């Protein structure tokens, strides 16, 4: 049974999504409890799958008995299993948060919305597990199509943002698929493990370098890496309040995971291939990743500081933190890599929490601008407390997980004697401090000592999602040594 867990994780949301339009044809209100129940089961199965991988090793699943390299192979290793717990838990919390917001924002499209959310999560599951480059493309496109529809479902300005996202997303998909075709032409395989054995003999091929370049630009667009990030801030800002937390916390992170898989499980899986690319073409792959990460970290944080719209600020903050993760994994050592992955886990939780806060601010208090956020100050201790916790995590102050993630990334950069990366992390942290200081100053700037009781209590689902994500940010810090050791034991690429 344990051998089937990766497929069960994929089929749970997929089959529910397929059946939901029929089951909920006459009872639209069933869609919410069905989705919550399905994702709760998915979260439990993902934890069981992680337990199985930790105790019995990675699970390799080949579809329909077709063995590698002809068949499609899924691998549930330590890294994939940890990320899947993150995907399923944040997906569950995202749907819980949707409850009070969906009737107002979605109107008669509630069933369509939950169907798309489940399709998105099944696609993200496929991206995490697959070791086939074309299969990865298929799932990225399923996730992208679901994302376009989820953003545009609100209508109005969101339709324009969804269309712009579609244009950029299709460009990224085209470039990625073009790169895959180049690699298939020179290697004759699409399986990542099989490709590792063939690439060292093809280092003189210009098609290899061209294909890798196209793939990385395509994935860079998908994960909103500077300078390919233009689609992301508007898309997340104008998306429905119920959609933004799931998209911001998961979609770009899973695209980044695909980049990590190709770089560390294919290109740098052997020192021969890594050194060959450097000797033949003078391409320092990991150093380029660190440089791109440094640019994204600083530019994203600087752009966030200039924003007045709350969701736009958070979106640019997410772009900055993608850069910080890339800085970590680009150092070429265990410390930096584990720091980057640990920070990815933290940032996913923090992005979810930020967009929950933005959703509560708009849905319950009608606030979109930082200038108006002072109205929340004394209205809700839940919101104010969550803002403080998330701000500490985003800035990188103890005892949050954000501090320990940045600390390990800086240690990895020092170990690699990469002081530019250290400076980029420090500068982006100072800029993050600046824009969160502006936000918190707005929250505590209260012009009246009297509470405005017209808003009432925020719904329980809002409190639950804010409470769980805030607690997770603190727990990731308090148990950082245990999680880092788990990553060192089970999530390192072959080269390490």
**How high is the pLDDT of residue 270?**
52
β partners of residue 386:
none
CA-CA distance, 50 to 2, in Å (whole number)? 10
β partners of residue 76:
59
Q: What is the DSSP string of 330-391?
A: TT-SHHHHHHHHHHHHHHHHHHHHHHHHHHHHHHHH---BGGGGGGTTTT-HHHHHHHHHHH
Preceding amide of 399 cis, omega within 30? yes
Name the strand (E) or helix (H) holding 60.
strand 59-62
Per-residue pLDDT at 31 exceeds 80 = yes
Lowest mean pLDDT among 30-34, 121-125, 470-474: 30-34
CA-CA distance, 10 to 404, in Å (whole number)? 32
The 10s digit of each residue's pLDDT in 255-290 is 999 989 988 888 765 555 555 454 444 557 778 888
pTM of the model: 0.91
CA-CA distance, 336 to 436, in Å (whole number)? 26
Q: Is 75 helix (H, G, I), strand (E, B) or coil?
A: strand
Name the strand (E) or helix (H) holding 421.
helix 419-444
**How high is the pLDDT of residue 273?**
54
CA-CA distance, 466 to 390, in Å (whole number)? 10
408 near 445, Cβ under 8 Å?
no
Can you tell me the mean pLDDT for 374-401?
83
More confident residue, 332 or 356: 356
The 10s digit of each residue's pLDDT in 211-241 is 888 998 999 999 989 888 888 888 888 888 8
């Amino acid at each position: 049974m344990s051998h089937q867990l990766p497929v069960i994780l994929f089929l749970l949301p997929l089959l529910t999504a397929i059946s939901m339009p029929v089951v909920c044809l006459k009872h639209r209100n069933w869609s919410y409890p069905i989705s919550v129940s399905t994702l709760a089961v998915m979260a439990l199965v993902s934890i069981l799958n992680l337990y199985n991988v930790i105790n019995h090793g990675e699970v390799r699943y080949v579809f329909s008995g077709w063995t590698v390299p002809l068949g499609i192979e899924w691998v549930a290793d330590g890294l994939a299993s940890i990320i899947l717990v993150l995907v399923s838990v944040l997906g569950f919390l995202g749907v819980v948060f949707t409850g009070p917001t969906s009737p107002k924002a979605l109107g008669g499209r509630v069933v369509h919305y939950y169907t798309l959310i489940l399709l998105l999560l099944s696609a993200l599951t496929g991206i995490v597990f697959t070791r086939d480059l074309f299969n990865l493309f298929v799932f990225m496109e399923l996730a992208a199509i679901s994302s376009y529809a989820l953003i545009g479902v609100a209508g109005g300005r969101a339709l324009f943002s969804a269309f712009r996202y579609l244009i950029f997303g299709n460009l990224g998909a085209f470039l990625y698929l073009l790169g895959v075709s180049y690699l298939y032409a020179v290697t004759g395989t699409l399986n990542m493990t099989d490709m590792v054995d063939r690439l060292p003999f093809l280092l003189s091929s210009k098609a290899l370098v061209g294909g890798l370049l196209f793939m990385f630009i395509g994935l860079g667009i998908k994960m909103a890496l500077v300078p390919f990030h233009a689609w992301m801030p508007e898309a997340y800002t104008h998306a429905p309040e119920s959609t933004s937390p799931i998209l911001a916390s998961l979609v770009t992170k899973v695209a980044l995971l695909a980049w990590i898989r190709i770089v560390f499980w294919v290109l740098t899986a052997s020192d021969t291939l890594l050194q060959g690319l450097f000797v033949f073409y003078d391409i320092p792959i990991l150093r380029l990743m660190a440089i791109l990460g440094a640019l994204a970290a600083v530019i994203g944080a600087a752009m966030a500081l200039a924003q007045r719209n709350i969701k736009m600020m958070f979106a640019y903050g997410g772009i900055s933190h993608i850069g910080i993760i890339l800085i970590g994994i680009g150092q070429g050592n265990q410390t930096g890599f584990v720091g980057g992955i640990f920070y990815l886990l933290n940032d996913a939780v923090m992005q979810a929490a930020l967009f929950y806060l933005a959703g509560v601010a708009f849905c319950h208090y009608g606030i979109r601008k930082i200038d108006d956020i002072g109205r929340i100050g004394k209205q809700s201790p839940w919101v104010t407390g969550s803002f403080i916790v998330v701000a500490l995590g985003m800035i990188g102050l103890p005892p949050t997980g954000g501090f320990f993630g940045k600390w390990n990334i800086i240690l990895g950069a020092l170990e690699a004697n990469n002081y530019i990366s250290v400076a980029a992390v420090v500068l982006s942290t100072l800029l993050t401090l600046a824009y969160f200081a502006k936000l918190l100053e707005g929250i505590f700037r209260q012009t009246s000592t009297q509470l405005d009781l017209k808003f009432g209590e925020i719904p329980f689902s809002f409190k639950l999602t804010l409470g769980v994500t805030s607690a997770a940010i603190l727990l990731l810090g308090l148990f950082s040594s245990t999680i880092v050791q788990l990553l060192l034991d089970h999530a390192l690429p072959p080269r390490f």
